[in-house]
Amino acid sequence: MSITQQNETLRVISERHAVKKYDSSAALPAEHLEAILTAASQAPSAWNLQHWKFLVIEDAADKQTLLPIAYNQQQVVDSSVTIAVLGDLEANRNTVIYDQAVDAGFLAAEIRDALVGQINGAYANPQVARDAAILNSSLAAQNIMLAAKALGYDTCAMGGFSAPQLVEKFNIPERYIPVMLITVGTAKEPARPSGRLPLSEVVVKGSF
Q: What is the pLDDT of residues 170-184, one digit of tens each?
A: 999 999 999 999 999
pLDDT of residue 4: 81
- Domains of the chain and CATH, by start: 16-90+134-192 (3.40.109.10)
Other beta carbons within 10 angstroms of residue 155's beta carbon come to: 28
- Provide the CA 168 distance to its chain's centre, in angstroms: 21
> How far is Cα 20 from Cα 147, in angstroms, rounded to an integer?
18
At residue 1, does pLDDT exceed 80?
Answer: no
- Position 132 confidence tier, pLDDT thresholds 50, 70, 90: very high
Question: Pairing state of beta strands 81-88 and 52-57?
Answer: antiparallel
Q: How confident is the model at residue 208 (pLDDT cuts 50, 70, 90)?
A: very high
Q: What is the pLDDT of residue 2?
A: 87
pLDDT (mean) for 2-6: 85
Q: What is the pLDDT of residue 156?
A: 98
- At 62-75, the pLDDT tens digits run 999 999 999 999 99
pLDDT band at 5 (very low <50, low <70, confident <90, very high): confident
Average pLDDT over residues 85-110: 96
The band of 190, judged by pLDDT with boundaries at 50, 70 and 90, is: confident
User: What would the DSSP string read from start to end of 59-70?
Assistant: SHHHHHHHHHHT
Percent share of the chain, pLDDT over 90: 94
Q: Residue count of the chain, please give it.
A: 208
Q: Does pTM top 0.75 for this prediction?
A: yes
pLDDT of residue 26: 97
